[in-house]
Structure 1
């Protein structure tokens, strides 16, 4: 379920549970980059951001790699961070009174009230935070059944488990050239994280691409190297741009095993692994961040297009990144099951309420969300 409920810490504290990350050129304002970080799955009216954590976009310049080590991109060391913190609630009668403060890469703070669509503006940046409709869509039950039964069980008309659910979102629309400077270039690597406040921040969650933890690092009974530890909690502690050496072999083992497993779901093998079992997608996926080219115009269905083009040895044509209406589950499953060599693999859910074309981009919150919070079916946790 994208990155919803991706580990025990996230389940215990939904206010720091990163659910989705998006990065795309604005469809209505050329030259502007939109960054969206969603948290708090199945949020209710009155839901609050944590006042004990910082919510952070991390952006670094990137370029197509010329090395032959399996990675697709070289990521620079210079980093541009947008860090948002929130006050404790002060309001009454349904108004939380909570305020957000986003510190820009320049160090300038931008303050704004939560749930105010006007947001706050600083040097080239427009910020918003508040309750909105969850834009993610997926037939979670059929995806879980697919992994449990070891065959594709999606149907033509799927059921979006998250239909009508709300989340809390942090949106930053910015003039990329002005905020990052012309030297950063147009190709950017984008990740997000929540960390504790204080002089020694601890990473609570990290997020790059959708479904790395909940699908690709899930326990499907095929990884013989690790049958005990939930890798998602370990992975959440990792720096998005620099995986530590301690658990790296465990991540590689899980991805190699799972990617071979997914490749066989249609009864044939479309990916060629190395003699040692290394899958061609393992290293690209471990470089777990969105890559967006701000020089390309907005494209709705461009998730992983830059990476897919590089893997195929052709020029990429879209902005990459990930838009709010992007059908990432179909893209991901098609990639891992048939490498794009067969028909598109669809979960039968093609969208939900369309996103807005202008700030703050996410559709307004559902005032009457489902009575029961969306949960991943038990079969997912048992595998």
Structure 2
């Protein structure tokens, strides 16, 4: 289910939906080869355990949302973009975006040069886009672009083609930036959420992280907390855990399971802005069928499709994800999509 529900028992990290990072997209800007689009989606509008809507507050003011950029292949960030939200006088939220380079990018905190400050957060159907030099920034509720038959996944992979996310919403942090702001043509990307915790080192604890869809939901097992709290440079330590899960899920031999596990780790999204986006080789477009890619690996080729295709409500303009839905619960919770009043 992409990165949705990455907490224990298909719940949320630290029991907070706002900290659940769901999807990471990176693709060249349509019509402008000199720029890229990066979208970090967080906070599903519904939960499955227990079924029902999540909070209508889009982002957690006590959290920090980060995009990490590894420019030299060492799986350590040389560039980081950090977003922090604060309550606004009108009851909404505003966002501040910072950029930092060098050793600080691999660390934790709110340091960095301010790129965007006090940007309004979209809490309904409005689309507040903030421009700052070559950057464009958006944060707020949107239609969830992820497509997958989650019900079939939870029913022993018996897929019917019903798209669980067709009428769901998610909170997007979208960034348009020059390619040079990513540092180099070939980078590794991942995103993470952190939350302030008293007594923690540097005051922050990593709640969730990832780049590749679905694997953090299905594969870490008892090592879930350690995996979500780790860095890509530490992912070699989870090969055995992933291998064990793949042996059981796909009937792999131990040797082949390790090969499959290493194809999923480290948990980063490779992106070269000189090439078209095509997951898993390069970046990820909003229409890439990442669910089918993961199913083929999980089942060792026994299941190759959930029979669901891309959404048709995407936008042709920044931030490219569609406006949030006005829908009512379809099945008492699992089909929840926020109404206009709730947004």
Is the TM-score greater than 0.5? yes
**Shift in Å, 1:295:** 0.6
| 2:334 corresponds to | 374
Are 2:133 and 1:126 equivalent residues in the alignment?
no
Q: Report the Cα distance in structure 1 between the residues aligned to 2:295 and 2:204, rounded to whole angstroms.
A: 36
Q: Report the Cα distance in structure 2 between the residues aligned to 1:295 and 1:244, rounded to whole angstroms.
A: 27
Q: Is the 8 A contact 1:108 1:122 kept in 2?
A: no
Match 2:33 to one of 30, 34, 37:
30
SS at match of 1:136: coil
Match 1:325 to one of 264, 287, 290:
287
Q: Is the 8 A contact 2:130 2:136 kept in 1?
A: yes
Gaps of 5+ in 2: 47-52, 101-111, 336-343
Tell me: CA distance 1:78–1:212, structure 2 relative to 1, closer, same or farther (3 Å): closer
- Map of 1:70-85 to 2, 5 A cutoff? 74-75=73-74, 77=76, 79-85=78-84
Q: Report the Cα distance in structure 1 between the residues aligned to 2:40 and 2:235, rounded to whole angstroms.
A: 24
1:257-288 Cα deviation digits (max 9, x unpaired): 22233433xxxx6xx753xx752122232210
1:210-256 Cα deviation digits (max 9, x unpaired): 111112335xxxxxxxxxx3x222211112x32178xx2xx323211
1:83-108 Cα deviation digits (max 9, x unpaired): 000112432xxxx4311111123613
Q: Report the Cα distance in structure 2 between the residues aligned to 1:16 and 1:194, rounded to whole angstroms.
A: 6
Match 1:212 to one of 199, 212, 215:
215
SS at match of 2:70: strand
| 1:5 corresponds to | 5
Tell me: CA distance 1:78–1:163, structure 2 relative to 1, closer, same or farther (3 Å): closer
Q: Is the 8 A contact 1:57 1:81 kept in 2?
A: yes
| 1:263 corresponds to | 250
**Shift in Å, 1:123:** 4.0
SS at match of 2:244: helix
**Shift in Å, 1:359:** 0.4
Are 2:263 and 1:284 equivalent residues in the alignment?
yes
**Shift in Å, 1:77:** 4.4
| 1:232 corresponds to | 224
| 1:254 corresponds to | 241
| 2:85 corresponds to | 86
For the pair shown, the structure with the greater C-alpha radius of gyration is 1
**Shift in Å, 1:373:** 4.0
| 2:338 corresponds to | none
Q: Is the 8 A contact 1:34 1:173 kept in 2?
A: yes
Are 2:303 and 1:303 equivalent residues in the alignment?
no
| 1:293 corresponds to | 272
Q: TM-score, normalised by structure 2?
A: 0.80
Match 2:21 to one of 18, 22, 44:
18
Match 1:41 to one of 30, 41, 44:
44
Are 2:56 and 1:56 equivalent residues in the alignment?
no
SS at match of 1:87: strand
Q: Is the 8 A contact 2:220 2:227 kept in 1?
A: no
Which deviates further from its counterpart, 324-333 or 166-175? 324-333
**Shift in Å, 1:347:** 0.3
Q: Report the Cα distance in structure 2 between the residues aligned to 1:352 and 1:373, rounded to whole angstroms.
A: 21
- The root-mean-square deviation of aligned C-alpha atoms, in Å, is 2.6
Q: Is the 8 A contact 1:193 1:205 kept in 2?
A: yes
Tell me: CA distance 1:201–1:162, structure 2 relative to 1, closer, same or farther (3 Å): same
SS at match of 1:281: helix
Match 2:315 to one of 342, 356, 363:
356
Tell me: CA distance 1:38–1:254, structure 2 relative to 1, closer, same or farther (3 Å): same
Q: Report the Cα distance in structure 2 between the residues aligned to 1:4 and 1:117, rounded to whole angstroms.
A: 24
Q: Point out the structure with the larger strand share.
A: 2
Q: Is the 8 A contact 1:166 1:369 kept in 2?
A: no
SS at match of 1:259: helix
SS at match of 2:204: coil
Q: Report the Cα distance in structure 2 between the residues aligned to 1:217 and 1:244, rounded to whole angstroms.
A: 11
Match 1:200 to one of 177, 195, 203:
203
Q: Is the 8 A contact 1:325 1:354 kept in 2?
A: no
Q: Is the 8 A contact 1:165 1:370 kept in 2?
A: no
| 1:221 corresponds to | none
SS at match of 1:110: strand
SS at match of 1:108: strand
